Amino acid sequence: MYLPAHFAETRVEELHRIVRTYPLGMLVTHSAKGIDADHLPFEFDADRGAHGTLVAHVARANPLWSDIGDGAEVMVVFRGAEGYVSPNWYPSKHETHRSVPTWNYEVVHAHGRLRIVDDEKFLRGVVGRLTRRHESTEPKPWKMADAPRDYMETMIRAIVGIEVELTRLEGKRKLSQNRDERDAQGVVGALQARGQDALSTAVSGARPDGTR
């Protein structure tokens, strides 16, 4: 991707934060049939491999696992906070009118090699961990044991596991770093007024004295 130096994010902790906070990744693959993309919730294990490992599952009916062989190079895209930015939010615009609309966003491109894992124990572990994580804020978290055993066995048989051992992480955070402090604060205030708290916090944190 196009990556101007002032928008490049190289801090590993920030790249990991985006992957973990926004776990629905777009898995981009290339086979004899051409380029394809699948949208999957991923589990991220930072301690497996030099750059970490992504784990997920796909429907057995999905040709991805049979069309793309082990070791194939793939990319998973994770999109963080994002949103439209109006030039009207810049105080400088009202003085010079030399501003145009743009889009602020955070994104991570996770490059790696695909591995297919068609194993019941592995799949139960993946589903169990994903469930525990995403059910953790529910008043009464759902767990696999809540479903009839034969039903869960049928559902497990209907999926196939995948892993992506990462070889490289590339990050971009385009958060008004190219605007002066006054314009950046105008963006922060407008985003807050519109309830876009995640993006507002990201823009604030991207300033020289910010936390991110």
Query: How do residues 62-116 score in pLDDT, each as one tens digit?
Result: 999 999 989 999 999 999 999 999 999 999 878 888 889 999 999 999 999 999 9
| pTM of the predicted model as reported, rounded to 2 decimal places | 0.93
Does a structural domain hold residue 184?
no
Question: CB neighbours of 167 closer than 8 A, spacing ≥ 6?
Answer: 50, 51, 111, 112, 113
Does a structural domain hold residue 10?
yes
Containing structural domain, residue 24 = 5-80+100-175
Question: CB neighbours of 162 closer than 8 A, spacing ≥ 6?
Answer: 27, 55, 56, 57, 58, 64, 65, 114, 115, 116, 117
pLDDT reported for residue 14: 96
**Total domains, the chain:** 1
Does a structural domain hold residue 187?
no
Does a structural domain hold residue 194?
no
Does a structural domain hold residue 86?
no
Does a structural domain hold residue 46?
yes
Does a structural domain hold residue 147?
yes
Does a structural domain hold residue 64?
yes
pLDDT tens digits for 171-185? 999 999 999 999 999
- In this structure, what CATH number is given to the domain that contains residue 68? 2.30.110.10
